[in-house]
């Protein structure tokens, strides 16, 4: 497979199924942000983490590739007239969301109760996790926007919402793992 094809030199690219669109199309922007999120998850995964966290982040990266494939498939190319899937792409399911919820519940049991909003930071790994969380929220917003224009599988929105929750509690866990301190947001105190 050749890396450069020159087919995008005039600002267009192909979706799954061959439909050509401009590279600034909302669908491209949406799955491009999923790709950016995946790269940030990779950066987070490459930090010094426990084996469980690394395994979970690798699982998330694979699921984000699946979401990218789902988003790269326009609705008219998803199914044949008889209702069968046209393209053989994997899909995210309720099981993937339940896995994230179980991870959130497990991590939360290890955390002290939150008494304030928390400022991102305290340790480089924690900061990487918060960056991934913010990119995840942007991906979620773009996915919602895309869904308003063209139907997409709503499970993607739910997955991204849960993933951002997971990244938030993971950031709190990583704060403890790295012996850092949570920085509370205290709006009435002067900096």
Cα separation, 65 vs 71, in Å, equals 10
* 179 or 6, which is more confident: 179
What's the rounded Cα separation, in Å, for the pair 67 and 135?
15
User: Looking at residue 61, what is its pLDDT?
Assistant: 98
Phi, psi (degrees; rounded to nearest 5) at 12: -120, 155
Whether pLDDT at 74 is above 70: yes
Q: Which of 127, 146, 168 is closest to 34 using CA atoms?
A: 146
Q: Residue 13 has what pLDDT?
A: 65
Residue 4 has pLDDT above 80, yes or no: no
The per-residue pLDDT for 76 is: 67
Q: Please report which confidence band the pLDDT of residue 3 belongs to, taking 50, 70 and 90 as the band edges.
A: confident
Token pair, residue 180, equals 């850092």
pLDDT of 167: 98
| Residue 122 in this model has a pLDDT that exceeds 90 | yes
pLDDT of residue 2: 74
d(CA 179, CA 59): 26
Asked if 35 and 136 count as a contact pair (C-beta separation under 8 A), the reply is no
Q: What is the pLDDT of residues 13-69, one digit of tens each?
A: 666 766 776 567 888 899 999 999 999 999 999 999 999 999 999 999 999 999 999
Q: What is the mean pLDDT of residues 107-123?
A: 93
Burial 162-171 (b: 16+ CB within 10 A, else e): bbbbbbbbbb
* pLDDT reported for residue 159: 98
Residue 40 structure tokens: 């940030």
Expressed in percent and rounded to 5, the helix, strand and coil fractions of the chain are 55, 5, 35
Q: Domain limits of the chain?
A: 30-79+130-181
Give the fold, CATH level 3, of 30-79+130-181. Hypothetical Protein Ta1238; Chain: A; (1.20.1200)
pLDDT of residue 186: 86
C-alpha dihedral sign at 71, 77, 81, 83: negative
Other CB atoms within 10 Å distance of the CB of residue 34: 26
Q: What is the pLDDT of residues 124-179, one digit of tens each?
A: 999 999 999 999 999 999 999 999 999 899 999 999 999 999 999 999 999 999 99
- The predicted pLDDT at position 86 comes to 54
Task: Please give the DSSP secondary-structure letter assigned to residue 86.
Answer: S
pTM > 0.85: yes
Alpha helix (H) ranges present in 72-154?
75-78, 94-108, 124-149
Tokens coding 169:
């509690």
């Amino acid at each position: 497979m050749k890396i450069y094809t020159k087919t995008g030199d005039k600002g267009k690219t192909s979706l799954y199924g061959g439909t050509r669109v401009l590279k600034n199309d909302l669908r491209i922007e949406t799955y491009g942000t999923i790709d950016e999120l995946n790269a940030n998850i990779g950066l987070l995964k490459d930090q010094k983490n426990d084996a469980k966290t690394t395994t979970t982040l690798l699982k998330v990266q694979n699921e984000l590739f699946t979401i990218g494939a789902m988003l790269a498939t326009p609705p008219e190319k998803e199914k044949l007239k008889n209702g069968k899937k046209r393209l053989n792409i994997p899909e995210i399911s309720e099981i993937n969301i339940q896995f994230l919820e179980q991870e959130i519940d497990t991590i939360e049991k290890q955390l002290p109760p939150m008494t304030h909003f928390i400022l991102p930071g305290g340790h480089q790994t924690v900061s990487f996790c918060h960056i991934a969380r913010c990119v995840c929220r942007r991906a979620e917003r773009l996915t919602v926007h895309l869904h308003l224009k063209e139907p997409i599988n709503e499970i993607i929105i739910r997955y991204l919402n849960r993933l951002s929750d997971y990244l938030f509690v993971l950031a709190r866990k990583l704060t403890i793992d790295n012996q850092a301190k949570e920085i509370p947001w205290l709006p009435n105190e002067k900096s």
